[in-house]
Structure 1
Amino acid sequence: MKFKTLSLVVLALAVSGCGGVDPNSPQGQRQTIFKQMLKVSEDLGGMLRGRIAFKEQAFVEGAVELDQLTRTPWQHFPQVREEGDESRARDEVWQRQARFQELARAMEASTAALVAATAAHPLTPETLAAPMQRVEDSCKACHEEFRAF
C-alpha cells in the first residue's frame, strides 16, 4: 500500500513539472515582467476609476514602478524566436523587429509621461486620467499587432 501511494505521489510530481515555462528562459522572464506590469497598471487604473481608493503616494510609486518595468521585457525577446517557444507572441515580433521596437519605445514614453504627470500637484484622478489612458493605449496597440490571443 505504501509503495502504491509513494508511486502515485512521485508520478503526480513528475507530471506537474511538465509543460511549464522555465522561469529563467527569456519567455519565462518576459512573462513575469508582463504580469507585474499588468498588476501595477490594473491598480493604477483602479484608483482612477474608483475601484480602489485613490492614494496619491501609492499612485506615484506605482507610476514609477510601471515606468521601470516597461524598460525591461524587451531584452528578453531574442533576435530569433527560440525553438519550442510557446508564447502568445506572434511571429511578427521577430519578422517586424523595427515596428515592435517602435511600439516598445512608445510604451516607455507613455509611462515616462505618466511619471512626469505625477509631479503636478495636487494629484487627482481627473488630472491623471489622460496620461494613464495613453499608457493603456500603448499596451493595446502592441497587443493588437503582436500578441496572439
Structure 2
Amino acid sequence: MTLTSLPLNTLSTKRLCVVALACLMLSACGGVDPNSPLGQRKAIFKEMLKTSEDMGGMLRGRVAFDGQRFAEGAVKLDGLSHEPWKHFPAVREADHSSAKDDVWQKQARFQVLASSLESATGELVIASQARPFQKSILSPAMDKVEGACDACHKEFRDY
C-alpha cells in the first residue's frame, strides 16, 4: 500500500505526526530562552547587525541610498548600542554564549569598549542629521561604529 492509496484521514494523521515530531526535535536542539540574559542580548545584537548591515549597504551601494531611512537607522542603532550590556550578568551564566570568559574577567576593559560603541553611534546620529546627506560625512562615522564593534568582537567574542 502506498501513501497515496491510504485514506485521507490516515494520510493526514501521519503527516501531522511527522510535523509534530520534527517540531519537538527542533525545539530540543539547544534553543535559547528569549527571556534569559543570553536570549535578550542575542536579540539585541541581531537587531544591531541587521540595522548596521542595511546602513552599510546603503553607503557601499549594495542597497539604494535613502537618507531618511539611514538617519532613522542611526537613531535606532544608537538606542540599541546602550542595551546589550545590561544583559551581561555579574557572574557568567552556564550557557552556550559566544562571549569569552574575559567579558567577566576584564569588566573594566569590556565597559570601555561598550562606551566606545555608544559614543560612535552617537556621532553617527549627529553625522546623519547634516543635510544634504553626504556619504563623505556618513561613511567615516559608520566606519567608526563598525570599528568599535570589531574591536570588541576581537577581544571578547569566541568565534
* TM-score grouping bracket, smaller chain normalisation: over 0.9
Give yes or no for contact 1:63–1:115 (8 Å, CA) kept in 2: yes
Shift of 1:11: 3.4
Q: 1:9, 1:135 → 2: CA distance?
A: 43
* Partner of residue 76 from structure 2, selected from 60, 65, 74: 65
Shift of 1:9: 4.6
Q: CA RMSD in A?
A: 1.7
Residue of structure 2 in register with 1:147 after alignment: 157
**Structure 1: stretches of 5+ with no match in the other structure:** none
CA separation of 1:17/1:121 partners in 2, compared to 1, >3 Å: closer, same or farther?
same
* Partner of residue 30 from structure 1, selected from 16, 28, 41: 41
Amino acid at match of 1:52: V
* Partner of residue 93 from structure 2, selected from 66, 79, 82: 82
**Structure 2: stretches of 5+ with no match in the other structure:** 1-5
Residue of structure 2 in register with 1:110 after alignment: 120
1:54 aligns to 2:65 (yes or no): yes
Larger radius of gyration: 2
Between the two proteins, the alignment pairs up a number of residues equal to 148
Q: 2:68, 2:22 → 1: CA distance?
A: 46
Q: 2:145, 2:60 → 1: CA distance?
A: 15
Amino acid at match of 1:100: F
1:41 aligns to 2:60 (yes or no): no
Task: Output the TM-score relative to the length of structure 2.
Answer: 0.87
Q: Which stretches of structure 1, 4 residues or longer, exceed 4 Å deviation after superposition?
A: 6-10
Q: 1:58, 1:9 → 2: CA distance?
A: 40
Q: 1:9, 1:49 → 2: CA distance?
A: 42
CA separation of 1:94/1:122 partners in 2, compared to 1, >3 Å: closer, same or farther?
same
1:148 counterpart SS class? coil
Give yes or no for contact 1:81–1:94 (8 Å, CA) kept in 2: yes
Shift of 1:13: 2.8
Task: Output the TM-score relative to the length of structure 1.
Answer: 0.92
